[in-house]
Amino acid sequence: KNKKAKVGLPWEPSSFYPVDVPERDDEEDEEEEEMNFITLQRLRKADERTKAMTKEEYVTWSEYRQASFTYRKGKRFREWAGFGIVT
């Protein structure tokens, strides 16, 4: 790998401290790669599930899928905001 020379500019936070931040370990990079691989597998599975669907089936499936992500957030927000509490 080619490494570029680092130039410390006076307005960058790294120039405020005498010690450089250590480089990332390869383990973190491997973990990121594994997470990306898992995400790609999920996307492939979802693609396989939806390939044979009609337009109506796909619309229903995507609405239900989105609702499963947003329901808890909406519920949590309503609880936080105090909606439905009679005072």
Name the pTM for this structure. Answer: 0.40
SS (H, E, C) the chain: CCCCCCCCCCCCHHHHCCCCCCCCCHHHHHHHHHHHHHHHHHHHHHHHHHHCCCHHHHHHHHHHHHHHHHHHHHHHHHHHHCCCCCC
Q: What residue segments make up the domains of the chain, in order of their start?
A: 27-81
- For the cut 80, the answer to whether the pLDDT of residue 73 exceeds it is no
pLDDT of residue 8: 67
pLDDT digits (tens, 9 = 90+) for 15-71: 777 777 677 666 667 778 888 888 899 888 888 888 888 999 888 888 777 766 666
pLDDT of residue 25: 65
pLDDT of residue 39: 87
| Contacts by residues 42-50 (CB-CB < 8 Å, ≥ 24 positions apart) | none
